[in-house]
Amino acid sequence: MFVDRAKIFIKAGNGGDGCVAFRREKYVPRGGPSGGDGGKGGDVYFRSSSHLNTLLPFRFKQHFKGGRGGHGSGKNRHGKNGQDVFVEAPVGTQVVNDGTGELLFDFTEPGCVELIARGGKGGRGNAAFATPTNQAPRIAQEGKSGDELWVVLELKVLADVGLVGYPNAGKSTLISAISAARPKIADYPFTTLSPHLGVVTFDDHGSVVVADIPGLIEGAHSGTGLGDQFLRHVERCKVLVHLVDVSGLGPDDPVGAIKAINKELSLYDRELLGKKQLIVASKLDSFVSERLTAVEQFCLKQGLRLWKVSAVTGEGLQELKWAMRNTLEDLISEGGNPGGDV
Ligand SMILES: Nc1nc2c(ncn2[C@@H]2O[C@H](COP(=O)(O)OP(=O)(O)OP(=O)(O)O)[C@@H](O)[C@H]2O)c(=O)[nH]1
Ligand SMILES: [Mg+2]
């Protein structure tokens, strides 16, 4: 099961209390203060891992607590520091403070470690309060509380290219034809229920990461079909590949379908429409000529180039692969930052 949102409670450990104690030793009258400091509370860190691809584990465990610092004790013994806790999250996870909405961290690479909640400092024992005028202090500090907060985790897959289009447009078939990804393919709508990533490789060892996004339909923004929740995964794609089925099984009005998807994109977030789009007519092996012509006319009018492919015969796939790569490279060399914050 794919889960891309979770809310969890994080509590770093409290610091241990300082201790009030005095040295007692044979033949040493009035030994000085010897209360040790409390240990520091354990911190809570997040660590990104490329081995995870869902936030599902957070359905089962929602509370993460750093260890408590041990109390200080006599003979100047320092309390033990509380154990630090590392929470593993998939690459692409954003950690947001639920109370303030502040983005605490965005894990865009594997192996990043970030402190999210700091453990409380240990209190100082009375030995630390001794001064020339007060050589036998009877005070010690309490340990400080560790940070505690609710955080929302949002997983947004990190891909260069996002495939969008109506259900059955052939998105999953396309990704399985150009990469090693093997999502489920079937002739009913909403076969794909969660985003899948595929890596498209090139002979010169270049590569492009493509995300297969579940199908969208008109009204997705108000929850129709699978809704638009998966669009958060295209937020960070730099290029969108917009598939439209021009075969007999596709929509009667393919241009209307393109416009409907674009409308859903803009209703979700206007910025999505600003992303570079490659329009692709799919299922070219069984195209219906009025439908293909309508899409060609539309692209001509809009000044857009149209790619035509068949994932079944392989026609046009090389050109499309290179178009994805060249478009990405152009965006990078233009120095733009089309993927938002990545
Ligand atoms: N003839 C032909 N059929 C295709 C082609 N690509 C996909 N199909 C068929 O179209 C149907 C839908 O393909 P999918 O790849 O599952 O479509 P999808 O866009 O991923 O659909 P959802 O996951 O439901 O959004 C399947 O029956 C495929 O076999 C193609 O190039 N030619
Ligand atoms: Mg699919």
Residue where a domain terminates, one of 130, 155, 180? 155
Mutate to test the pocket of ligand 1, among 163, 164, 172, 184 (most ligand atoms within 8 A of CB): 172
Q: How far apart are CA 5 and CA 55, in angstroms?
A: 7
286 and 241 in a common domain: yes
Pairwise pLDDT comparison (125 vs 340), residue with the higher score: 125
Report the percent of the chain where pLDDT is more than 70: 98
CATH number at residue 110: 2.70.210.12
143 and 23 in a common domain: yes
321 and 200 in a common domain: yes
CA of residue 190 to ligand 2 center, whole Å: 7
Residue where a domain terminates, one of 90, 124, 155? 155
Q: How far apart are CA 247 and CA 282, in angstroms?
A: 8
**pLDDT score recorded for residue 340:** 45
Number of domains in the chain: 2
Taking only the tens place, the pLDDT of each residue in 260-284 is: 999 999 999 888 888 999 999 999 9
Q: Strand 161-165 to strand 103-106: parallel, antiparallel, or no bridges (unpaired)?
A: unpaired
Q: How many C-beta atoms surround the C-beta of residue 232 within 10 A?
A: 19
Assess whether the C-beta atom of 191 lies below 6 angstroms from ligand 1. Answer: yes
273 and 239 in a common domain: yes
For 166-193, b where at least 16 C-beta lie within 10 A, e where not — what string?
Answer: bbbbbbbbbbbbbbebebebeeeeebbe
Assess whether the C-beta atom of 311 lies below 6 angstroms from ligand 1. Answer: yes
Q: Which two tokens stand for residue 234?
A: 């295209």
218 and 114 in a common domain: no
Q: Amino acid identity, residue 294?
A: A
Q: Give the angle subtended at the CA of 296 by the CAs of 212 and 262, to the nearest 5°.
A: 45
Alpha helices, H only, the chain: 57-60, 171-178, 254-268, 270-273, 289-302, 317-333
Identify the domain containing residue 283 by its residue range. Answer: 161-333
Q: Is the pLDDT of residue 201 over 60?
A: yes
**pLDDT score recorded for residue 71:** 96
Give domain status of residue 264, yes or no: yes
Cα 308 from chain centre = 32
282 and 172 in a common domain: yes
Give domain status of residue 172, yes or no: yes
Query: Which residues, 6 or more positions from 40, have their beta carbon under 8 angstroms from its beta carbon?
Result: 13, 15, 16, 69, 81, 82, 119, 120, 121, 122
Q: How far apart are CA 174 and CA 160, in angstroms?
A: 16
Average pLDDT over residues 91-103: 93
Q: Is the pLDDT of residue 341 over 50?
A: no
Q: How far apart are CA 153 and CA 59, in angstroms?
A: 12
Q: How far apart, in Å, are the Cα atoms of 17 and each of 35, 68, 77?
A: 10, 10, 12
138 and 182 in a common domain: no
Give domain status of residue 339, yes or no: no
For 14-27, b where at least 16 C-beta lie within 10 A, e where not — what string?
Answer: bbbbbbbbeeeeee
Give domain status of residue 141, yes or no: yes
Give domain status of residue 341, yes or no: no
Average pLDDT value for the chain = 91
Of 105-109, 193-197, 292-296, which range is least confident?
A: 193-197
187 and 79 in a common domain: no
Query: Can you name the residues that pair with 218 across neighbouring β-strands?
Result: none
In a 3-state reduction of DSSP, which class is residue 328? helix
222 and 132 in a common domain: no
Q: How far apart are the first and last CA of the chain?
A: 26
**pLDDT score recorded for residue 339:** 47
Atom of ligand 1 nearest to the CA of 243: 19
**pLDDT score recorded for residue 342:** 37
Give domain status of residue 165, yes or no: yes
Taking only the tens place, the pLDDT of each residue in 76-92 is: 999 999 999 999 999 98
193 and 128 in a common domain: no
Q: How many C-alpha atoms does 204 have within 13 Å on its Cβ side?
A: 3
Residue where a domain terminates, one of 155, 186, 215? 155
In a 3-state reduction of DSSP, which class is residue 180? coil
The band of 1, judged by pLDDT with boundaries at 50, 70 and 90, is low
**pLDDT score recorded for residue 290:** 96
Assess whether the C-beta atom of 314 lies below 6 angstroms from ligand 1. Answer: no
Query: Which among 13, 37, 16, 34 is positioned nearest to 25, based on CA atoms?
Result: 34
Report the percent of the chain where pLDDT is more than 90: 70
Mutate to test the pocket of ligand 1, among 166, 168, 261, 291 (most ligand atoms within 8 A of CB): 168
**Helices 171-178/317-333 angle, 10° precision:** 90
**pLDDT score recorded for residue 191:** 87
Assess whether the C-beta atom of 186 lies below 6 angstroms from ligand 1. Answer: yes
The band of 222, judged by pLDDT with boundaries at 50, 70 and 90, is confident
**pLDDT score recorded for residue 332:** 84
Give domain status of residue 26, yes or no: yes
Taking only the tens place, the pLDDT of each residue in 167-182 is: 999 999 999 999 988 8
CATH number at residue 193: 3.40.50.300
Least distant ligand from the CA of 284: 1
Q: What is the DSSP string of 253-285?
A: -HHHHHHHHHHHHHHH-HHHHTSEEEEEEE-GG
Give domain status of residue 338, yes or no: no
23 and 91 in a common domain: yes
Q: Amino acid identity, residue 220?
A: A
Assess whether the C-beta atom of 200 lies below 6 angstroms from ligand 1. Answer: no
102 and 242 in a common domain: no
Assess whether the C-beta atom of 310 lies below 6 angstroms from ligand 1. Answer: yes
Assess whether the C-beta atom of 267 lies below 6 angstroms from ligand 1. Answer: no
The torsion angles phi and psi of 110, rounded to 5 degrees, stand at: -70, 155
DSSP state of 250: S
